[in-house]
Structure 1
């Protein structure tokens, strides 16, 4: 059915990409390679180039015993997306895996070190795809604790994202660590749920300072958690309704809302909370 859809729309980059991903998952490397190459060609001069297709093509070539071609694609990827640290991290992680497969352990370690260095410069800003690529490379290198730590943080930062949890579970299944992976996902999600519930409960009891302190601490550990940010915003708005407006709290809420807007421009609660801050339709910043 997917092939039929692609035949009907052969110049659809998104459909070619899905075909490539499906074929890759099913072990059909020839179809996967052709689909990813077509994806890249279709969007070559578009502003909507997808780095995932480039990285996936490199992985397929490596699995097809064409490491030199895989490395060429990764070099090209870094050039095309030269302004993206996120893509550089993904490329370095896959480079590490390619070098390891060819027995060049020193180069593999060097590429992984580069990925980790770039990773440290992006706290809370790493994309899901990049985090999963790095974790996969870490597992291949036997760095289980680091991979688990990275995936634990990723799931906690996006604990309501079922699609992501499925991707993480698939990663661990491929590494023959399915049971451990499922436990990690369940425990990580439950931990964040408990923190959020505790913060909400404290706010309902009027213990705003305690609730805010709890959620601020959680946010320090989970800087990419949209849910924690929004819950903290709601708590602080509730505190101002109960105790009166505060310039410091207003500034904090506005900064949090801006962070959420950067992470997810489609978050409807941002607009709702802005309306709560400026109920009379007064001018808001930005």
Structure 2
């Protein structure tokens, strides 16, 4: 067995250096230099902070900071990289411990090897599950003895060191190197083998290698029917468009463990992909009852209910989302805008307009949110019967559309089209809906939604014709570029795909094919710095539109391999 690898916490890997060897699993409490670590204790009661500080000092700790609130903790986490954080769940006014951990994760304020121990007197299912969703390394129930604290800290620390080099490679997005480190560690570490396979599967998905991820999950399932492994296999099915098969797996996982919350969220997503909004709503409602303190889940529930016309449940979800999101990094305008729509449909225009003023104030400086607020204002007026003000808002939006060639994200385009059609405008919303259809020509669920908008505007047949023409235009554009590529006319294919991207800048199939043609050109004709930069720009645009696409990581890896060694090192 190789000797333990010692690397300073947070130290980056040297580009081009060989992957370090696997970590020895023989370390004990005495092997850790606890005195050199940085500690943060977060609790709103000074007595508890002092008790935890003394327990850490008995371990040998010297560098111990304290925070009495979530805001104070975030300030310290922003400035200092801590090795160990002990954080209470309830912190009084402001952020709670769950929200501190959530923000620290989102903002990458923790080292890969950092240990986070959540401490709480809360024993309720919703509190424990809410904290667990953000994956603390341990959840300790008060009162805590010094022996329990030190035992759990040592156990978690030991485990984190096994994954330290893997996590560092992951943080640098070098997923293949991280996967190689997993393989090396699996060979010597039977204790953590299952968790290493779990990490490897995650890395394979990030690298655009779903088949290798599936093999890792299947290897785990052969040992034991872990729910996360089965869910992982279902997520791969989802990515392949096998929504019904994924649905069945997620339902099976929930049947065996009703507290496996991630399966609910994924099951709801599968139902939405199949256009089954009623089923998605039921699943999200069940999940929200089990773990109600997720901003994203409450927002999703509210949005699905609003589409279904279930105003009572939509209102409840959006109000909960606003309440729990007040101090959360996940706070977004969607809940305010959604609740304003609910108020408009309930004819409570005063509260709806107050919500719109709030969202503009809370998210000041964001032009897209100001645009969404204006659209929502028009919809509120229209749904409450004030057609004159609705038409005025529609006229303002039509002027904006005519003056700005750019188009917002899909959901905003759809809402704008709904308003403009409702107030009697035709040309501009039809153009918007065709734009959405052309840029998403292979998304059947979204095209069905576009058709429903046409249906509601009493343009069913016209709408179907517009959608068919839009799909044909996008398909023809893409196929011509692919045909040139397959015919060996790489330069012509390159120019054609630039033309296609200019016409349809957000069509995922066209963007992916354009990137692939760029790579093929360089593989055959040699590396080109300008073309490489253009390819990277295309891929980053893909990741901006739809983050987490498996093919994105795969193509980024291919691009990285084409960069000459001397340029990569520079």
What TM-score results when the alignment is normalised by the length of structure 1?
A: 0.84
Deviation per residue, 1:158-196 (Å, 9 max, x gap)? 333334323323333333434433433333223212221
Aligned to 2:481: 199
Aligned to 2:234: none
Taking the TM superposition and a 5 Å limit, the aligned residue runs for 1:215-254 are 215-254=497-536
Aligned to 2:323: 41
Taking the TM superposition and a 5 Å limit, the aligned residue runs for 1:29-178 are 29-100=311-382, 101-103=384-386, 105=388, 107-116=389-398, 121=404, 123-124=406-407, 126-178=408-460
Q: How far has the Cα of 1:17 moved from its partner?
A: 3.3
Structure 2 Cα separation of the partners of residues 278 and 29 of structure 1: 50
> Which structure has the greater CA radius of gyration?
2
Q: Report the RMSD for the aligned CA atoms in angstroms.
A: 2.9
Q: How far has the Cα of 1:226 moved from its partner?
A: 2.8
Structure 1 Cα separation of the partners of residues 385 and 372 of structure 2: 19
Q: How far has the Cα of 1:40 moved from its partner?
A: 1.5
Q: How far has the Cα of 1:211 moved from its partner?
A: 2.0
Change (3 A) 1:234 1:80: same
Aligned to 1:16: 298
Aligned to 2:150: none
Deviates more, 1:73-82 or 1:21-30: 21-30
Q: Is the 8 A contact 1:85 1:118 kept in 2?
A: no
Matched, 1:257 2:539: yes
Higher helix share: 1
Change (3 A) 1:242 1:108: same
Q: Is the 8 A contact 1:156 1:188 kept in 2?
A: yes
Q: How far has the Cα of 1:114 moved from its partner?
A: 4.5
Q: How far has the Cα of 1:200 moved from its partner?
A: 0.8
Q: How far has the Cα of 1:138 moved from its partner?
A: 0.9
Is there any run of 5+ residues in structure 2 with no aligned partner, and where? Answer: 1-281
Q: Number of matched residues?
A: 284
Deviation per residue, 1:136-167 (Å, 9 max, x gap)? 11111111221111111122223333343233
Structure 2 Cα separation of the partners of residues 267 and 19 of structure 1: 24
Q: Is the 8 A contact 1:216 1:232 kept in 2?
A: yes
Q: Is the 8 A contact 1:57 1:70 kept in 2?
A: yes
- Report the 3-state secondary structure (helix = DSSP H, G, I; strand = E; otherwise coil) of the residue aligned with 2:561: coil
Q: How far has the Cα of 1:62 moved from its partner?
A: 1.0
Is there any run of 5+ residues in structure 1 with no aligned partner, and where? Answer: none
Structure 2 Cα separation of the partners of residues 166 and 46 of structure 1: 34
- Report the 3-state secondary structure (helix = DSSP H, G, I; strand = E; otherwise coil) of the residue aligned with 1:279: helix
Structure 2 Cα separation of the partners of residues 18 and 240 of structure 1: 43
Q: Is the 8 A contact 2:314 2:342 kept in 1?
A: yes
Q: Is the 8 A contact 1:87 1:130 kept in 2?
A: no
Q: Is the 8 A contact 2:344 2:381 kept in 1?
A: no
Q: Is the 8 A contact 1:67 1:102 kept in 2?
A: no
Structure 2 Cα separation of the partners of residues 50 and 166 of structure 1: 27
Taking the TM superposition and a 5 Å limit, the aligned residue runs for 1:265-280 are 265-279=547-561
